[in-house]
């Protein structure tokens, strides 16, 4: 079993670069930290290498033991960890969906990860991201999802194209808006529904709002709006399969 102590080792340098989106995109690889996320990544069959401090045995073909100093260089976790994994980005596929989440220009990785987690919890079939959403494989997104990124197909592309395609496939498109909208409790369930959530500060673009079949708002007291991840959790629960 290989053991690496040098911070200048070529593999360590390459793995450390995966904290930057540019190198994740170029290599098609990303990092996960901790036992739970590694376990979920192994289930998804996307682990390339496990990096360990040697305190735990792994039944895996490529395990690299590193020193404490090297682990600290590779980890973004505020507390010490004993293992990480280098994972391959997953190819998204989907068959006969009836519940879809679309996100337009969501910028906070914690919000994205939390929405992914809610989508899995409430049995949604896929998530479509606009091209300007934050990165799915940011370490904060992965941690916030608690491994849910391994359990749902996630696509990234032109939001207008997604809306057009879903409309052609018979989806009822539901947006969120504080003004011209219906209360959440008044909205009827449909067989095929897609829910669109917008940017943390500006919400959905006017173009997206005009593409929907209906826009909704969450009835509340004392506040005008909720954090996008909180709002998404409430709405996805209401319309889960």
**pLDDT (tens digit per residue) in 62-94:** 999 999 999 999 998 877 899 999 999 999 999
Check whether residue 36 and residue 154 sit in a common domain: no
* pLDDT at residue number 231: 95
* pLDDT at residue number 181: 83
* pLDDT at residue number 177: 82
Place of tokens 């987690």: 117
Domain boundary among 32, 60, 88: 88
Label residue 51 by pLDDT band (50, 70, 90): very high
* pLDDT at residue number 1: 62
CATH label of the domain that carries residue 40: 3.30.1330.30
Q: In the numeric block, which tokens belong to residue 12?
A: 């360590």
The strands making up 172-176's β-sheet, listed across from edge to edge, are 154-157, 126-130, 99-103, 193-197, 172-176, 214-217, 182-183
Average pLDDT over residues 47-68: 94
As a whole number of angstroms, the distance between CA 83 and CA 47 comes to 13
Check whether residue 109 and residue 220 sit in a common domain: yes
Check whether residue 193 and residue 82 sit in a common domain: no
Domain of 231, in residue numbers: 99-238
Per the domain annotation, does 94 fall within a domain? no
**Mean pLDDT of the residues in the chain:** 94
- Report the domain count for the chain: 2
Would you list the DSSP string of 52-115? E-SSS---SS-EEEE-HHHHHHH---SS--SEEEEEEPPPP---S-SEEEEESS---HHHHHHH
Check whether residue 227 and residue 140 sit in a common domain: yes
As a whole number of angstroms, the distance between CA 144 and CA 237 comes to 18
Per the domain annotation, does 213 fall within a domain? yes
Give yes or no for residue 221 having a pLDDT over 70.
yes
Check whether residue 188 and residue 152 sit in a common domain: yes
* pLDDT at residue number 220: 77
* pLDDT at residue number 14: 97
Domain boundary among 68, 88, 108: 88
Per the domain annotation, does 167 fall within a domain? yes
Q: What is the pTM of this model?
A: 0.93
Q: 3-state DSSP: the chain helix, strand, coil percent, rounded to 5?
A: 35, 25, 40
Domain boundary among 58, 88, 118: 88
Check whether residue 121 and residue 216 sit in a common domain: yes
Check whether residue 223 and residue 137 sit in a common domain: yes
Check whether residue 109 and residue 152 sit in a common domain: yes
Check whether residue 129 and residue 223 sit in a common domain: yes
Check whether residue 50 and residue 105 sit in a common domain: no
Per the domain annotation, does 93 fall within a domain? no
CATH label of the domain that carries residue 187: 3.40.1280.10
Check whether residue 147 and residue 220 sit in a common domain: yes
Check whether residue 52 and residue 103 sit in a common domain: no
């Amino acid at each position: 079993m290989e053991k690496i102590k040098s911070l200048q080792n070529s593999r360590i340098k390459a793995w450390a670069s995966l904290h930057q989106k540019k190198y994740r995109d170029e290599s098609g690889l990303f990092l996960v930290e901790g036992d739970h996320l590694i376990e979920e990544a192994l289930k998804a069959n996307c682990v390339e290498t496990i990096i360990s401090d040697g305190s735990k045995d792994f039944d895996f073909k490529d395990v690299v033991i590193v020193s404490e100093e090297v682990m600290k260089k590779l980890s973004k976790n505020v507390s010490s960890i004993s293992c990480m994994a280098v994972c391959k980005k997953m190819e998204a596929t989907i068959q006969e969906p009836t519940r879809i989440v679309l996100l337009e220009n969501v910028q906070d990785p914690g919000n994205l990860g939390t929405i992914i987690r809610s989508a899995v919890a409430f049995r949604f079939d896929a998530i479509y991201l606009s091209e300007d959403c934050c990165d799915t494989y940011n370490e904060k997104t992965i941690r916030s999802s608690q491994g849910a990124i391994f359990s749902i197909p996630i696509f990234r592309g032109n939001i207008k194209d997604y809306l057009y395609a879903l409309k052609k496939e018979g989806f009822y498109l539901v947006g969120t808006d504080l003004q011209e909208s219906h209360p959440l409790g008044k909205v009827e369930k449909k067989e095929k529904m897609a829910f669109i959530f917008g940017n943390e500060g500006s919400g959905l673009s006017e173009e997206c709002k005009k593409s929907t079949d209906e826009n909704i708002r969450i009835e509340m007291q004392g506040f005008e709006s909720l954090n996008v991840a909180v709002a998404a959790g409430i709405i996805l629960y209401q319309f889960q399969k």
